Chains A and B, each alone.
Chain A
Amino acid sequence: DTAVSQTPKYLVTQMGNDKSIKCEQNLGHDTMYWYKQDSKKFLKIMFSYNNKELIINETVPNRFSPKSPDKAHLNLHINSLELGDSAVYFCASSQDPGRHGYTFGSGTRLTVV
């Protein structure tokens, strides 16, 4: 059983489109995250949700919006996609922020053409 699963694994879309990436965790963790990894492998946090409440919202464009229907799911919606949004997006979860490690999903490679 995959602990943190993301879909889709690959996403190719045109500029201006709206897309969503889904994430589910079966670990019972209270906190979920979205990270963006650029071409240089740098991991940058985008959002964090704790028990369905947003607790971190880094300076990302408001075209990106996280949605958490319950504590096991954290989806990422992206509107009006731009070329610069091309990256690998990782979902992660943690039982206790700052006390335990994160469990990452396998990533979604987004390519905007």
Chain B
Amino acid sequence: QQQVKQSPQSLIVQKGGISIINCAYENTAFDYFPWYQQFPGKGPALLIAIRPDVSEKKEGRFTISFNKSAKQFSLHIMDSQPGDSATYFCAASMYNNDMRFGAGTRLTVKP
């Protein structure tokens, strides 16, 4: 049972463009929504996270947009760079429970 649905599965963006990855969740008890970035041969690393009391969080070129009523959240990467090429995972969790991950999006940024 996949509690967090992520799309697209893969994404190709030109350097300087905007990368957008979308996620939807089912369980309204989730209250913590992180994004992880994974490079080949490495473990996933926490990139940015949001709680449902805000609709947007920005850290550098990375922004999370959160729509509580639609139960959706998305990651926007502005001015995408080849170094951003990686697999991105959205996730959701609730207090004292494990984290549920989306299926991942493989991002390729072409020079």
- Residues of A at the B interface (CB closer than 8 Å) are 4, 33, 40-43, 45, 48, 56, 90, 92, 97-99, 101-107
CB contacts (< 8 Å) of A102 on chain B: these are 44, 46, 99
CB nearest neighbor in A for B48: A101
Stretch from B17-25, B72-80, B86-94 at the A interface: B86-94
Residues of B within 8 A of A (CB): 31-32, 34, 36, 38, 41-46, 49, 87, 89, 93-99, 101, 103-104, 106
Known: A43-B44, A105-B43. 6 other contacts (CB 8 A): A40-B104, A41-B87, A42-B103, A90-B43, A97-B96, A104-B43
* 6 nearest CB pairs, A to B: A104-B43, A101-B46, A98-B93, A43-B101, A41-B104, A98-B95
Whether B104 contacts A99 by the Cβ 8 Å rule is: no
On whether the beta carbons of B41 and A106 are closer than 8 Å, the reply is yes
Give the CA-CA distance A33 to B101 in the complex, in Å: 14
In the assembled complex, which residues on chain A have CB atoms less than 8 Å from the CB atom of B42?
106-107
The contact sample of 7 A-B pairs, CB cut-off 8 A, is A40-B104, A43-B101, A98-B97, A98-B99, A102-B46, A104-B44, A105-B43
Please judge, given known A-B contacts A104-B45, A106-B43, whether A98 and B103 are in contact too, CB under 8 Å. no
* B98/A45 in contact, CB under 8 A: yes
Q: For the complex, what is the distance from the CA of A101 to the CA of B98, rounded to whole Å?
A: 11
Asked if A98 and B96 make an inter-chain contact with CB atoms under 8 angstroms apart, the answer reads: yes
How far is B64's CA from A78's CA once the two chains are assembled, in angstroms?
38
- Min distance, Cβ B107 to any Cβ of chain A, angstroms: 12
